Amino acid sequence: MAVTSVTPHCGTLSSGDFIWTSRDHLRSRPSLKPSFRRRIHRWSVSGSNCRSEMSTPSPLPALPDRRIIVGCGGITIDYLATVAAFPRPDDKIRSTSSKIQGGGNVGNTLTGVARLGLAPRLISKIAKDAQGTFALSELERDGVDTSYTVVSPEGNSPFTYIIVDNETKTRTCIHTPGYPEMRPSDLPQSTLLSALDGARLAYFDVRLHETAIVVAHEAARMNIPILVDAERRREGLDDLLNLANYVVCSENFPQEWTEAPSTPRALLTMLLKLPRMKFVIVTLGERGCIMLERAPEGTLETEKIDVDSLLATLNEKADTENQMPTCISSENMTLTCDGVGSISGRMIVGTAEKIAPAELVDSTGAGDAFIAGILYGLCAGMTAEKMLPFAACVAAANCRALGARTGLPFRTDPHLVPFLL
């Protein structure tokens, strides 16, 4: 796909703040004061519409040298039905559209990273039934290596009914677990070592927890960084968090896990309790995300600031009017909270892409798509200021189609290209 040239533009930021936004957005907002414009770090695509203004092709850079992602978790089949409005008890209604598609957090995320050009390997278990066969064949068509997935000759594969409400733009999931469950004995040591050989990252959705913990310990022993999807409390989660280098949380999880009175305090508490963790991200849906990142060892101590106050300051500066996702970050500081403690690190606030109501189809799998973007960003060595908007774009693309995988973008998508150059 031919695209117009892409050039990063940097501004002088006295406090270390960065915002990723578009040049055309600035042109459309003449009310911005010149002083504010100088504080913006812009990532722009020349021309107002990169789909329609085609010129000399800009070849994408080479893929990361180490791009094998090992994912361990559950996969399912999703039976999706969209309805005009969620039914009342005893109602009989008709769907407006329907789809049968593979699902499950790890399956969705690995499909996402495969389409972005990475090389995912799946450790999971499925039954040798029609649902399991469909799930594996779909993953393989997208480039996911399923050779490390156990296929049980008996039992049933997991599946989920998903009702997508067009009125409220929400979805309701009814999940039926599979049987028999995966056990560590299903994964011989030789197979485990083969799966992890050459891996850049290991990813866990905290399902199949007994096997996941074995895989995570081996990954940690091999110095393979670990990312955990902390969607909700599950059995084995704490053991995986203790081994994690990166964590992506749902909105309510940090406070539920720490019992802290605010999200910033909860994120600080997590970094204090989990010394291996380099960063934690909490996703906030259409309100974007917050990332707390530990400073590298040897970083000089700077001014102290309360994490709640820092979030308030960053939220005031965030560009919430921009249609495309943006990102604003603090400098490395001593982040504190009374009664909790302090660390040296920084906070980054990312906004979400604004999706027109007519374009918003289904939020199923948006979090999995976001994590796919984070995994790619880590493999590619992206800065947080580049990685968070990139992941937000991946998630937004997925929300424009029915199901958790239909809208997952490919690496050549014009909306993603500017982040890859």
Q: How far apart are CA 78 and CA 104, in angstroms?
A: 8
pLDDT at residue 298, rounded to an integer: 75
CA 17 to the chain's CA centroid: 23
Q: Is omega for the bond preceding 180 within 30 degrees of 0, making it cis?
A: yes
pLDDT at residue 44, rounded to an integer: 32
What does pTM read for this prediction? 0.83
Q: What are phi and psi of 98, to 5 degrees?
A: -150, 160
Kindly state the tokens that stand for 242: 């203790």
Three-state SS across 66-129?
CCEEEEECCCEEEEEEEECCCCCCCCCCCCCEEEEEEECHHHHHHHHHHHCCCEEEEECEEECC
Nearest to 126 by CA among 235, 207, 202: 207
**pLDDT tens for the 421 residues of the chain, in order:** 333 333 232 322 333 333 333 333 333 333 333 332 323 233 333 223 333 333 445 678 889 889 999 999 999 998 989 999 999 899 999 999 998 998 999 999 999 999 999 999 999 999 999 999 999 999 999 999 999 999 999 999 988 999 989 888 888 999 988 889 999 999 999 999 999 999 999 999 999 999 999 999 999 999 999 999 999 899 999 999 999 999 999 999 999 999 999 999 999 999 999 999 999 999 999 999 999 999 988 777 678 999 999 999 999 998 888 899 999 999 999 999 988 899 999 999 999 999 999 999 988 899 999 999 999 999 999 999 999 999 999 999 999 998 889 999 999 999 899 888 8
Please report, for residues 74, 284, 314, 370, the alpha-carbon distance to residue 291 in angstroms, rounded to integers and kept in the order given.
26, 11, 12, 13
Rounded to whole angstroms, the maximal C-alpha distance in the chain is 67
Please compute Rg for the chain using Cα positions: 22
Nearest to 384 by CA among 244, 261, 230, 279: 279
- Tokens 């022993």 belong to 221
Helix (H) or strand (E) holding 393: helix 384-398
pLDDT at residue 301, rounded to an integer: 67
DSSP 153-208: SSSB--EEEEEEETTTTEEEEEEE--BSPP-GGGS-HHHHHHHHTTEEEEEE-S-S
Q: What are phi and psi of 104, to 5 degrees?
A: 95, 140
Q: How far apart are CA 237 and CA 303, in angstroms?
A: 34
Q: What are phi and psi of 3, to 5 degrees?
A: -135, 160
For residue 47, count other CB atoms closer than 10 A to its CB: 16
Q: Spell out the residues 6+ positions from residue 79 whose beta carbon is closer than 8 angstroms to its own.
A: 98, 100, 159, 160, 161, 162
For residue 9, count other CB atoms closer than 10 A to its CB: 12
137-175 per-residue burial string, b: 16 or more CB within 10 A, e: under 16: ebbeebebbbebbbebeeebbbbbebbbbbeeeebeeee
DSSP state of 306: E
pLDDT at residue 13, rounded to an integer: 32
Q: How far apart are CA 35 and CA 39, in angstroms?
A: 7
Find the length of the chain.
421
Whether 367 and 283 have beta carbons less than 8 Å apart is answered as yes
Q: Is 260 left (phi over 0), alpha (psi -120 to 50) or beta?
A: beta
